[in-house]
Structure 1
Amino acid sequence: MAACLFSISGFAQKPSPKLLTPTNHTLVLIDFEGQMAFAVKNIDLENLRQNVGLVSGGSKIFNVPTIVTTVSEKSFSGPVFPEVSEVYTDTEAYMDRTTMNAWEDVKVHDVIVAKGKKKIVLAGLWTEVCIVDPALSALIEDYEVYVITDACGGVSDEAHRVAIQRMIQAGVQPITATQYVLELQRDWARSETYAAVTALFKKYGGAYGLGIQYAHDMLKH
């Protein structure tokens, strides 16, 4: 019996290969631009921006391979959210395109492939076009695809909801912004990123961030 319990305990300590780590995926941020945001209806723009801040900030803390792609930035859609541009300041990291499906842009596709990661995490605007299209396209090339649902926006509640349902039915795994960052941290004893992650949540984490601020302050007394 003891041997059996030991075996079960040992197995439980092995994390699922479905979990994201800082080194096993590529993050693709798609069309977080003003013109695209104006039509978003499924989520309040303030909440969307907070979630985008968590995702972009978290990816930078953990040095996740990240691609920022825009659509017709100079002629139509405008600049990226400050929550992205303040984190990714190197203009060479940005890839502008004309295609609605980023996967069909040769340069974007080549950069994603060159990262060498078989897991891809997507977030962006709009869910029903610029997220669905690359998500379904990546699946047929045998990528594992994750979509950060609360860092995506559609032109209506139904458009966003149906898009998420369509992707899940095809095999995409839905996650949220908070889940994404905490899945990368995984252990609060990971001291090299602890301070940066808690600071990120204080800035963008809403009520959870206030709780962290409260705990940090009160524990000093």
Structure 2
Amino acid sequence: MRIDILSAVPKLLEGPFSHSILKRAIENGVAEVVIHNLRDYAYDKHKKLDDYAFGGGAGMVMLIEPIERCIDKLKAEREYDEVIYMTPDGELFNQKMANQMSVNYKNIIILCGHYKGIDERIREHIVTREISVGDYVLTGGELAAAIVADALIRLIPSVLNDETSALTDSFQDDLLAPPVYTRPADYKGWKVPEILLSGNQKKIDEWREEQAIKRTKERRPDLLD
């Protein structure tokens, strides 16, 4: 999978892809993440990316031209499945969406908004899908883009050392994950449930399913609905 991320502040994206699982996936050639500085596609010598909104009001609006020029260049080099815009009023990102995208998409562009947002005509004529990571507003779309990229890349076969790990994550079966424990089995009198030390895998699996249902009922009953 190749993910091209378009940003007005590309340095915000350096950290998420420089460590841990995502770094290994990129180094091993399983995934490719390319971050593009939209200022490189600005027309004027000041590399301007925004201007005042027509009709007045607070906040600046990202210009059409740098975004279109960058996307046109990328599309001339390869086919893309989607041009995604990260925005608070997009469809809410969830695990089911991540699963589908990871399987069905090979190349995607993620556009990060900034300032007051992007010129609406970009959304009307260039963007093909709009995604939100939650009902709140961030300074820009960079952190949201990193969230989406992380969720997709970790699902690619061979990215995780144990490929079954992703299948037992929260939300994969519309349940929250059950509690997990590790050594020591007894810490300050805080003990690991005996069933997990029994070696009876069938009973352990049953216990984990019961705990997943219990936790979901307590914390996210809407998932059970």
Query: What TM-score bracket applies, with the shorter chain setting the length?
Result: 0.3 to 0.5
Q: Which has the higher contact order (CA 8 A, sep 6+)?
A: 1
More helix by share: 1
TM-score, normalised relative to structure 1: 0.34
Q: TM-score, normalised by structure 2?
A: 0.34
Structure that is richer in strand per residue? 2
